[in-house]
Structure 1
Amino acid sequence: MRVAPVGGTAVQDHVALAEIELCGELIIAASAAREERLSLESIDQVLRVAEERDTRAR
């Protein structure tokens, strides 16, 4: 069995980590909604879509 060496040689994929974080936030929001489905507006709010639009507009 090969194991990654210790010492900071692991490569991090920052895009993948950000996507995992957003998925986690969606799961939390969906579980808090209980029986209801999340609206598209709620999903956009969780994913911070408006913030991203503002950042890109600058």
Structure 2
Amino acid sequence: DQGQIAIKLMGFSKGVTVQGGLPVPITTPAHGTAYDIAGQGKADVNATANAFRIAARMGLAKHLN
């Protein structure tokens, strides 16, 4: 969790958390769920999109190996 501080400071809207050592890729936006702004049209989806792209690349790499 301490590494998250640096990620949030450097790129809050881009950061991704990756959990390793699991049989399937697990990625999440580093900023969390943002329930406080849900449904208000304020959310920046970049971190979620980045998490999806990373998970897709991890899945493809695992499939190809």
More helix per residue: 1
Considering Cα pairs closer than 8 Å and 6+ residues apart, tell me whether 1 or 2 has the greater RCO. Answer: 2
More strand per residue: 2
- TM-score range for the pair, normalised by the shorter chain length: 0.3 to 0.5
